[in-house]
Structure 1
Amino acid sequence: MIVILGTGGTIAGTAVDAADNVGYTAAQVGVAQLVRAVPPLAARRLETEQVAQLDSKDMDFATWQRLAQRVAAQLARPEVRGIVITHGTDTLEETAYFLQRVLAPSKPVVITAAMRPATALQSDGPQNLLDAVNVAGDVLARGVLVVFAGAIHTAEQVRKVHSYRVDAFASADGGQLGVVEEGRVRWWAQAMVNEALGLARLARPTADWPRVQIVLNHVGADGSIVRALLAQGVDGLIVAGTGNGSLSAALEQALREAQARGVRVLRSTRCDAGPVTASNEALPSAGALSPVKARIEMLLDLLLD
């Protein structure tokens, strides 16, 4: 059995004009209705559950907490082979990484989405959903995966790389694991399943979760944003540096001031691929994590404090 959990997004969106792929309202169609719109799924053994119904730009910690709990509960059922999650594209990569780090499931948890609403003349959602179910049912699938436009990605490396095209996601450094071709799954590599951090880490009420913000290095970056965040109260800072995590002298000085005041700091890069090299002289590196995923890593780490 495959369980499909709905959270909303463009895949569940509707527009007044079927030719309009931009002026739509996300999160209008229930997950059960999405499944009924894909005829080949009628022959599959499926269950559906609506966990949330929101535009993924509005994804929040409370929904993450609830989603992780529901995924864990469904995975614990012996008859469940895998899970598919329908999601919006804007924060999909963050949810994927969050679930992988918290649960690191041995069964597949496949996240999919769409760039066009359900009412579009050529909606990409039905095919993405069908592909996701096929991957979730594959004997070699495991861990949190993203299936989109026929490609299978790891949660660690997948990124949204285009604002409009239907092939909006890509992976860097070998993060694409395979493809789905006419219903057949072809693997190029297998995902590593790391140790689960566990749901206990999420027990704290989400209103009390640590405050971690992202700042950007750019021409003229002077550190004023860092100092403003310090004044407001912040527990951690991720800096998206240029190139190999390089920072302007003024921004680095402000970050070191924050570090001296007990704020956790990690240095990432605004580049689309490649790690940030660690050194004893520089601020701590986030490795190959993107800024948004480095934020999740720090958030989960701070939840232990």
Structure 2
Amino acid sequence: MAIIKDNAGPKPHITILATGGTIASRGGNSLSLTDYGVSTGRQPVGIDTLMEAVPEMHQFAEISGEQLFNVGSSKLSIENLLTLAKRIDVLLSMETIDGVVVTHGTDTLEETAYFLNLVVKSDKPVVLVASMRPATGLSADGPINLVNAIALASNPSARNKGVMVCMNDQISSAFGVAKTNTTNVAAFKCPDTGYLGIMQNFEPFFMSVPVKRHTHQTEFDVANLATLPRVDIVYTALGTDGLFIDAAVAAGAKGIINSGLGHGNMSAAAMASLEAARENGVTVVVGSRTGGGLVTPTQQFMQRDFITAMMHSAPKSRILLMLALTITDDPREIQRMFDQY
């Protein structure tokens, strides 16, 4: 059985990149489990305070920390993601750095994880970690999540697994992970793929490995990009017309993700607007609002040059399409990317 490491022998060097979120928030009191201090203006916890508050992490690695930004993940921008990815690549290019842990808010954690999974150019571990309860809350989950993330990033078995999320003793792939609950500490699950592994006594036990292309295996390069093409998501419900699809086109969207019914279905009016968007050069990806399963190519989609989302959620489809459009607008090539990534 694995127990916490002692100080014998050299330790790996892990850098924590702090971006903010609930893991760095201050609630009103210990019973305020959904008060993150955003509306009251309470200052979030900085990386130095966070590292001092969880000294157990130092048993696994030599640790350095950087405060990249300190905002809730609902406020992050595409430019923030590009800054984060570029900094990770710089750090992991150093022989003295063995892995990176990113502290992050939960609202867009799965999007950041998937973005990094597509653009980081290293096989060294990158682990995203967050918490569902503020740092000041009773039974806050941030400290143990952070120690687990450091222990995971420090372990040789974590190499070449792609970007991972470590929450609630579970190890998730960036491709499979999704936030499935608004407030529960077990909010992050992998509905279709299952977890990569679990953390037990601060040691990772892997049950599977990612088969999707990731990190250094991908064709995406953001080193010289300052922004990404605009891609909008449109949600489909009973009786939905094409108003918001038309508005996305008018706003300059280069791509549209249609979060459709069932296996990508939609109303006749929505279909007509998507057809018009495609005729105007907008790339269309057809997905599903169901939260699980595949949307695979069918004749009705292929003959319209629509791309199908496969197993990608709408937010992850948006991330992938934005990156794809920096390389090509050929629907056949982009469909290949949705198949492979």
Q: Which range, TM-score by smaller chain?
A: over 0.9
What's 1:138 paired with?
Answer: 155
**1:16 equivalent in alignment to 2:10:** no
**Cα displacement (A) at 1:175:** 3.9
Q: What secondary structure is seen at the aligned counterpart in 2 of 1:54?
A: coil
What's 1:303 paired with?
Answer: 326
What's 1:65 paired with?
Answer: 82
Q: Deviations over 1:141-163 (max 9, x none)?
A: 13200001010000011000000
Percentage identity across aligned positions? 36
Q: How far apart, in 1, do the equivalents of 2:69 and 2:95 lie?
A: 24
What's 1:290 paired with?
Answer: 313
What's 1:111 paired with?
Answer: 128
What's 1:203 paired with?
Answer: 224
Judge conservation of contact 1:36–1:42 (CA < 8 Å) in 2.
no
Which one has the bigger strand percentage? Answer: 1
Q: What secondary structure is seen at the aligned counterpart in 2 of 1:70?
A: helix
**Cα displacement (A) at 1:229:** 1.9
2:264 corresponds, among 224, 228, 245, to 245
**1:129 equivalent in alignment to 2:146:** yes
Judge conservation of contact 1:103–1:197 (CA < 8 Å) in 2.
no
Partner amino acid, structure 2, of 1:19: L
Q: How far apart, in 2, do the equivalents of 1:37 and 1:255 lie?
A: 51
1:155 corresponds, among 174, 178, 201, to 174
What's 2:16 paired with?
Answer: 4
Judge conservation of contact 1:144–1:154 (CA < 8 Å) in 2.
yes
Moved more, 43-52 or 212-221: 43-52
Gaps of 5+ in 2: 1-12, 329-341
Q: How far apart, in 2, do the equivalents of 1:175 and 1:70 lie?
A: 30
**Cα displacement (A) at 1:122:** 1.1
Q: Deviations over 1:84-129 (max 9, x none)?
A: 0000000000000000111253111000000111111111000100
Judge conservation of contact 2:93–2:122 (CA < 8 Å) in 1.
no
Moved more, 70-79 or 18-27: 18-27
Q: How far apart, in 2, do the equivalents of 1:197 and 1:28 lie?
A: 37
**1:41 equivalent in alignment to 2:52:** no
**Cα displacement (A) at 1:18:** 1.7
Judge conservation of contact 2:27–2:35 (CA < 8 Å) in 1.
yes
Judge conservation of contact 1:96–1:145 (CA < 8 Å) in 2.
yes
Judge conservation of contact 1:104–1:144 (CA < 8 Å) in 2.
no
Q: Deviations over 1:26-60 (max 9, x none)?
A: 57111222122113123331111111111100110
Q: How far apart, in 1, do the equivalents of 2:194 and 2:77 lie?
A: 26
1:181 corresponds, among 171, 175, 200, to 200
**Cα displacement (A) at 1:196:** 2.8
**1:56 equivalent in alignment to 2:73:** yes
Give the TM-score taking structure 2 as reference length.
0.85
Q: What secondary structure is seen at the aligned counterpart in 1 of 2:19?
A: strand
State the Cα RMSD in Å. Answer: 1.5
Judge conservation of contact 1:131–1:147 (CA < 8 Å) in 2.
yes
Q: Deviations over 1:149-199 (max 9, x none)?
A: 010000011000000100110003324100001212111112245323344
Q: What does 1:68-83 align with in structure 2 at a 5 Å threshold? A: 68-83=85-100
Q: How far apart, in 2, do the equivalents of 1:212 and 1:30 lie?
A: 33
Judge conservation of contact 2:57–2:151 (CA < 8 Å) in 1.
no
What's 2:184 paired with?
Answer: 165
Q: What secondary structure is seen at the aligned counterpart in 1 of 2:105?
A: coil
Partner amino acid, structure 2, of 1:197: E
**1:275 equivalent in alignment to 2:294:** yes
Moved more, 238-247 or 16-25: 16-25
1:231 corresponds, among 232, 250, 269, to 250
Gaps of 5+ in 1: none
Judge conservation of contact 1:202–1:303 (CA < 8 Å) in 2.
no
Give the TM-score taking structure 1 as reference length.
0.95
**1:213 equivalent in alignment to 2:232:** yes
Judge conservation of contact 1:15–1:25 (CA < 8 Å) in 2.
yes
What's 1:85 paired with?
Answer: 102
161 and 104 in structure 1: CA distance in 2 versus 1, 3 angstrom threshold: farther
Partner amino acid, structure 2, of 1:39: P
Q: What secondary structure is seen at the aligned counterpart in 2 of 1:53?
A: coil
Q: How far apart, in 1, do the equivalents of 2:180 and 2:16 lie?
A: 26
